[in-house]
Structures are given as structure tokens and as C-alpha cells.
């Protein structure tokens, strides 16, 4: 009975202490597409993800009811870092749903014109608002509505403690008249959250501890890293890296330059805490507001050993061809192309032997070949030519009749035999990373679909007589980019090639930039007028070193730009349902297609090639 009454009391007092308007709440999922479009259309970084931000601890003064209810004051605020823009999970600060929606749009506009860095939070936000309103005068009415409604929703200044009134007055003035306030007093509590402004990221920019560094990277500049733990598909946890102390004591006086106050330190050994209980780990993460990683005092060797064991032994590995090829890689923070950064190793599939086309694909292959017949080189006669291989009897007869009636100038009396040759080369580059080992159903994996696609692609292009090559790629760090040769431009499509395709296996990671640069060099050596580079993948660029997130995306973008500069047309076919978040930046809006049903890929790949080359 006591527990039941206590539960009712908790629900009641929590609801009373909550100043938000539930009936007007707008969730991030409802506006995610709109705010993403606004963010990128007005100049926001096209690579950044736009996602929800989980609540963060915010040290402001509690009301009497909040103290009774035990409200932890987790506040979901708008902020961004180098990889993503985080907007509140939901907004219900206004009693008008349209205002809450407009606030999401306003925050996206602010973020599109700001780099995420602050020297003084309040002053910089005022300057940003002033610049936005000057740049986009049509937004002035929307901002005025939001500002007036927001100020009206805040606690009256005269009801605040005397020591906090000056700060609140400065906040109100800076909202109503942006740029009018230059000094903000120092107080013991942060002002109530200012939802009309962006907040700084709380992630610390610590360098990676030596025990997490790649052994091959010693002597080079340490890369900066950020750690985040995924709460859900749309919400991310706050993260920071700190020293590993025994105790944390002391008080903090609030300044606007340092908005966030308390966080709980969790000593976590990422080198050895590899629990297999995913459910327990997920529930623990849900309960944490911030994940804090500390530099370990003891050097962990186990993590390095696990990484090394990912590579197969020499007796089980594919067959290397030569000593490898050194390739550059784009460092987006330095904005330079670092020479000889990667080592690409050409390889042949192990135990590949000549194989016929599988019986299950033969019927489909004949149908595709029939569709490609119309792309064959067509030979035809040009009539009424001044010179040619044969006399054009029809033109001669017309001239003879006209000359009997009236003097006529001699016209073309010959016909010439011409051929319409398809002068193009195509290189198909297939992603063979470990993610292709995933099962689509009980019988098929992604790698099986990729194999069928390559086989049918080869049958189709052989029937039309086009010049083509096929390669696969995967990677384990920058010194082991594996480039699997399935068919080069100088060999025919035979049973030996079919055998190589049927011998491929899921590889490792996806260092796409290096593979595209090598494919670009290969196809650029062809003498064809048109050159098409098809990239078949199931995910975004990644690797187990620093080649994650923005680094991999920017390097791949640079490699694609290099290919386009050489007159090569890159086109991407992917089965990644999240591809819309990064492929438009890499290939352009018309440079890729998403196959929503992977099992359709074997049929769709030849059809896409037909569409790309039939014009």
C-alpha cells in the first residue's frame, strides 16, 4: 500500500514540478528531415549527421517543487561538434506546438552558420543571432515571436534571489535585443536553459593515450579522438576524456564560459572490460548521463593482441602479388594529401579454380544478355556521300532523272559503311569487408549476393563486348589495404575469372579512399573515351585506426574528386539504408543509388550499367 501511494505521489509531484507543456511537445523524429534539409541548405556541413542529443546535467537553481520531486535537471540542449549536430530529443517549452516546431528550425539555422566553437557563450550567441538576422531578414518575424514567447515563459526577474537578478536581466536583454549586452555577471548557479541559443560541446579534446596508439604510429603526431556511446539510433551520449584521479573534490563558481558543472567519473578499462553481456551493458549505458574515459596507468597488451589475431595466417591468406603499392591519404584536419601514407597489397583469391557459371544463374544470365543485345556495336550505311565503298543507286537514279529535266549539280552518289562502336571502359570495385558476412535470411549472406552480382555483371558485359575489370577491397589499418584482383582489363571473362569470384570471402574493414585511388590509376590507363568507375558497397568508409567518421568520409571524398578531375565517372551502388546521410556529399545527388532489397542486387546491377551506358 505504501509503495502504491508513493508511486502515485511521485507521478503527481514530478508532473507538477515539470514546467513543460506535454500537449504541445514536438519530438525530434517528427522534424529530423526538415531540420536536416534546412541545416544543409543554408550552408551547414553536408557531412555532419543531424541527430537527437540526450539530456545533460545542468546546474541551475531548483524550484521548491523540483527539490521535493528530486528532479535531476537533465536538460537536452542544442550543440554540435566536428561530426554531428545534436538537437533536443523533444521540445515542449511553449504551449503552442507551432512555436516548438519553429524553435527546431531556428536552431538548425543557427548551427548552419556556426562552427561549434565558443570564446564566450553568451556574447558569441548574440553575435550569431545578429549575423543570421542580417543575412536572412525573412527570419526576423519568426525570431521575434520565439524571443517574446521565450522571455514570457521564464521566471519573473523580481522573484529571483537578488544575486541572480542581474544575470537574468542580462539574458533577457540579450534575447530581446541581440548584441546589446557585452558583460555578464558571475553567479553561483547557471541561468535557466536558454533554448534559443546553441551550447558548446562538452567533449574534451584530449589526445589518445599511448596504450591506444597504433604501434606503427609512434613518432608521429598523436591524433585527437572523441568517444561516444550510443543510446539509441537517434540519441547519443555525452563523452569526455580525463585524467584518472582517486578523488574529485572542490566547488565551482558558474561562469558563462564554463556552462556544465557536475559529472560522475567512471574508471573504465577499454582494453580488458569486454563483457559479453550486451543487455547488461546497454542498460548501464541508459542510466549514465555522461561517459568519462580515463587514461590507463598500465599498458594493456591484450587489445593489441586481439587486433593482430584478426589477420589470417600466411598459409590461409589470399595470394599477395608483389610487395605492395604506396598510396597517399587525405588528412582533412591538416587539409593536405599525405604521400605514401597507405600500403595497398594486390591479391588473388586463395584456392580459386576454374568454375562454370552456377546453374541457378544461367536462366537469369540469358535474360540479361538478351537485354544487352541492343547495346552491341551496330554497323550501318551512310547514303548520298561524296565518296564511299559503293555507288548509291537510289541517289544516282535521282540525279540522272533531274539532269534530263534541267541542269543539276552532281550530288553525293556513293554510300559508306560505318560502325557505331561503344568506346568505354568500366571498373567495378566491390566492398568485401566483414559486414558482408551478415545474413540476409537463413540461406544467404551479403557476400553471396555480391558474388552473384559480379557473375551476372560479367556475363552481361561479355555479351556486349565492353572493356571491363573487377576488383574487391578490404583493409586492416593503413598498412594493409587488400586489393583483390578478380578480372583485369587485359584478360577475357573466362571460367578462371568466374572461379575467382566464387572464391572470394568476407574480409575486414572498408578503407575506401585508398581502394578508389588505385582503381582510378588502373582505369585511367585505358584509352577509352568514356570511363566508368562503379563502387559496390554495404556501408560507409571505416577502419580500426583513426579512419572513422569524418576522417574516412573526407578521404573518400577527396579520392572521388581526384577521379572526376581525370574524366572518370564514379557511381556508387549501396545496400546501406543510412546512405542518404553521407553519399550525397561523396558522389553528388545523382551519383549513387540505394538498393533497399539486397536480394535484388544481382538483377539491378546489370540494369544500372545498362542505364548508365546506353545514352
pLDDT tens-place string over residues 95-110: 899 999 999 999 999 9
Contact residues for 160 (Cβ-Cβ < 8 A; gap 6+): 168
CB 530 within 8 A of CB 569: yes
User: Would you list the DSSP string of 20-79?
Assistant: S-GGG-EEHHHHHHHHHHHHHHTT--TTSEEEEE--EE--BPPPHHHHHHT---EE---E
Please identify which residue in the block is written with the cell numbers 573518400.
556
Least confidently predicted of 59-73, 242-256, 591-605 = 242-256
Contact residues for 536 (Cβ-Cβ < 8 A; gap 6+): 428, 429, 430, 431, 450, 453, 572, 573, 574, 601, 605
Full-model pTM: 0.62
User: Would you list the DSSP string of 394-447?
Assistant: HHHHHHHHHHHHS-------EEEEEEE---EEEEEEEE--GGGGSBSSSS-BHH
Q: Return the C-alpha cell found at 6.
A: 508513493
Residue 592 pLDDT greater than 90, yes or no = yes
CB 413 within 8 A of CB 396: yes
Q: How confident is the model at residue 294 (pLDDT cuts 50, 70, 90)?
A: low
pLDDT, residue 533, reads 96
For 47, phi then psi, to 5°, come to -85, -25
The share of the chain scoring above pLDDT 70, in percent, equals: 72
pLDDT, residue 8, reads 63
CA within 13 Å, CB half, 501:
29
The segment with the largest mean pLDDT, out of 33-47, 251-265, 522-536, 579-593, is 522-536
Alpha-carbon distances, residue 68 vs 8, 18, 485 (angstroms): 14, 12, 69
Contact residues for 114 (Cβ-Cβ < 8 A; gap 6+): 80, 128, 198
pLDDT, residue 530, reads 92
Domains in the chain (CATH in brackets) are: 2-176 (no CATH), 210-308 (no CATH), 319-371+422-613 (3.40.50.410), 378-420 (no CATH)
Q: Return the C-alpha cell found at 333.
A: 584536419
Residue 258 pLDDT greater than 90, yes or no = no
From 610, 611, 606, 608, select the one nearest 454 (Cα to Cα).
606
Measure the CA angle with vertex 171, ends 65 and 255; round to 5°.
85
How far apart are alpha carbons 383 and 395 in whole angstroms?
8
How far apart are alpha carbons 506 and 449 in whole angstroms?
12
Contact residues for 311 (Cβ-Cβ < 8 A; gap 6+): 317, 476, 480
Q: How confident is the model at residue 268 (pLDDT cuts 50, 70, 90)?
A: very low
CB 544 within 8 A of CB 307: yes
pLDDT, residue 309, reads 43
Higher-pLDDT residue of 63 and 562 is 562
Q: What is the pLDDT of residues 497-552, one digit of tens each?
A: 999 999 999 999 999 999 999 999 999 999 998 999 999 999 899 998 889 888 99
Least confidently predicted of 294-303, 415-424, 462-471 = 294-303
How far apart are alpha carbons 590 and 588 in whole angstroms?
6
Phi-psi region of 497 (alpha: psi -120 to 50; beta: other; left: phi over 0): alpha
How far apart are alpha carbons 500 and 470 in whole angstroms?
11
How far apart are alpha carbons 184 and 463 in whole angstroms?
75
Contact residues for 155 (Cβ-Cβ < 8 A; gap 6+): 168, 192
Higher-pLDDT residue of 33 and 71 is 33
Least confidently predicted of 151-160, 287-296, 521-530 = 287-296
Alpha-carbon distances, residue 267 vs 206, 282, 289, 294, 296 (angstroms): 16, 17, 15, 6, 9
Q: What distance lies between CA 377 and its chain's CA centroid? A: 40
CA within 13 Å, CB half, 571:
16
Q: How confident is the model at residue 376 (pLDDT cuts 50, 70, 90)?
A: low
Q: Return the C-alpha cell found at 386.
A: 561524296
Size of the chain in residues? 615
b/e burial code for range 339-354 (CB count within 10 A of at least 16 → b) = eebbbbbbbebeebee
pLDDT, residue 63, reads 55
The single-letter DSSP state of residue 193 is P
Dihedral sign of CA atoms 301, 303, 305, 307 in order: negative
- Mean pLDDT taken over the chain: 79
pLDDT, residue 489, reads 95
Residue 276 pLDDT greater than 60, yes or no = no
Amino acid at each position: 500500500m505504501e509503495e502504491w501511494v508513493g508511486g502515485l505521489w511521485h507521478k503527481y509531484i514530478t508532473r507538477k514540478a515539470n514546467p513543460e507543456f506535454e500537449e504541445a511537445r514536438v519530438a525530434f523524429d517528427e522534424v529530423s528531415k526538415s531540420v536536416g534539409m534546412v541545416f544543409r541548405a543554408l550552408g551547414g556541413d553536408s557531412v555532419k549527421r543531424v541527430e537527437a542529443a540526450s539530456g545533460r546535467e545542468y546546474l541551475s537553481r531548483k524550484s521548491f517543487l523540483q527539490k521535493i520531486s528530486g528532479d535531476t535537471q537533465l536538460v537536452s540542449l542544442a550543440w554540435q561538434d566536428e561530426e554531428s549536430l545534436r538537437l533536443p530529443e523533444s521540445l515542449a517549452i511553449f504551449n503552442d506546438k507551432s512555436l516548438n516546431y519553429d524553435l527546431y528550425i531556428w536552431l538548425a539555422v543557427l548551427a548552419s552558420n556556426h562552427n561549434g566553437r565558443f570564446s564566450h557563450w553568451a556574447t558569441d550567441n548574440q553575435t550569431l543571432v545578429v549575423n543570421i538576422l542580417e543575412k536572412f531578414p525573412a527570419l526576423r518575424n519568426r525570431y521575434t515571436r520565439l524571443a517574446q514567447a521565450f522571455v514570457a515563459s521564464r521566471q519573473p526577474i523580481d522573484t529571483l534571489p537578488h544575486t541572480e537578478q542581474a544575470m537574468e536581466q542580462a539574458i533577457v536583454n540579450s534575447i530581446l535585443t541581440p548584441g546589446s549586452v557585452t558583460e555578464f555577471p558571475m553567479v553561483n548557479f547557471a541561468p535557466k536553459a536558454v533554448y534559443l541559443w546553441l551550447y558548446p560541446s562538452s567533449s574534451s579534446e584530449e589526445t589518445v593515450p599511448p596504450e591506444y596508439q597504433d604501434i606503427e604510429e609512434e613518432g608521429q603526431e598523436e591524433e585527437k579522438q572523441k568517444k561516444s556511446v550510443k543510446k539509441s539510433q537517434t540519441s547519443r551520449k555525452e563523452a569526455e576524456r580525463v585524467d584518472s584521479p582517486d578523488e574529485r573534490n572542490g566547488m565551482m563558481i558558474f561562469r558563462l564560459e564554463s556552462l556544465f558543472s557536475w559529472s560522475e567519473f567512471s574508471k573504465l578499462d577499454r582494453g580488458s572490460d569486454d563483457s559479453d553481456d550486451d543487455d547488461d551493458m546497454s542498460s548501464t549505458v541508459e542510466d549514465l548521463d555522461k561517459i568519462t574515459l580515463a587514461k590507463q596507468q598500465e599498458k594493456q597488451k591484450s587489445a593489441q593482441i586481439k587486433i593482430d589475431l584478426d589477420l589470417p595466417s600466411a598459409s590461409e591468406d589470399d595470394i599477395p602479388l608483389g610487395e605492395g603499392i604506396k598510396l597517399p591519404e587525405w588528412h582533412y584536419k591538416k587539409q593536405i594529401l599525405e604521400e605514401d601514407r597507405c600500403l595497398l597489397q594486390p591479391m588473388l583469391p586463395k584456392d580459386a579454380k576454374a568454375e562454370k557459371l552456377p546453374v541457378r544463374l544461367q536462366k537469369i544470365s540469358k535474360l540479361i544478355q538478351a537485354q544487352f543485345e541492343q547495346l552491341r556495336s551496330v554497323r550501318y550505311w551512310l547514303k548520298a556521300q561524296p565518296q564511299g565503298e559503293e555507288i548509291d543507286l537510289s541517289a544516282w537514279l535521282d540525279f540522272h532523272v533531274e539532269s534530263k529535266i534541267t541542269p543539276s549539280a552532281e550530288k553525293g552518289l556513293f554510300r559508306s559503311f560505318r560502325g557505331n562502336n561503344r568506346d568505354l571502359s568500366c571498373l567495378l570495385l566491390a566492398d568485401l569487408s566483414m559486414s558482408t558476412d551478415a545474413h540476409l535470411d537463413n540461406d544467404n549472406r551479403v557476400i553471396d549476393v555480391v558474388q552473384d552480382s559480379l557473375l551476372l555483371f560479367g556475363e552481361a558485359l561479355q555479351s556486349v563486348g565492353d572493356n571491363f575489370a573487377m576488383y574487391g577491397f578490404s583493409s586492416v589499418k593503413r598498412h594493409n589495404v587488400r586489393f583483390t584482383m578478380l578480372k583485369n582489363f587485359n584478360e577475357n571473362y573466362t571460367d578462371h575469372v568466374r572461379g575467382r569470384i566464387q572464391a572470394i570471402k568476407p574480409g575486414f574493414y572498408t578503407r575506401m579512399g585508398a581502394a578508389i585511388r588505385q582503381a582510378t590509376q588502373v582505369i585511367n590507363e585505358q584509352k577509352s573515351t568514356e570511363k566508368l568507375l562503379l563502387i559496390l558497397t554495404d556501408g560507409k568508409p571505416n577502419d580500426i585506426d583513426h579512419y572513422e567518421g569524418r576522417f574516412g568520409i573526407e578521404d573518400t571524398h577527396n579520392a572521388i574528386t581526384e577521379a572526376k578531375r581525370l574524366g572518370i565517372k564514379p557511381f556508387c551502388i549501396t545496400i546501406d539504408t543510412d546512405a542518404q546521410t553521407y553519399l550525397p556529399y561523396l558522389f553528388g545527388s545523382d551519383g549513387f543509388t540505394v538498393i533497399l532489397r539486397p536480394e535484388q542486387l544481382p538483377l539491378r546491377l546489370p540494369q544500372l550499367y545498362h542505364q548508365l551506358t546506353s545514352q
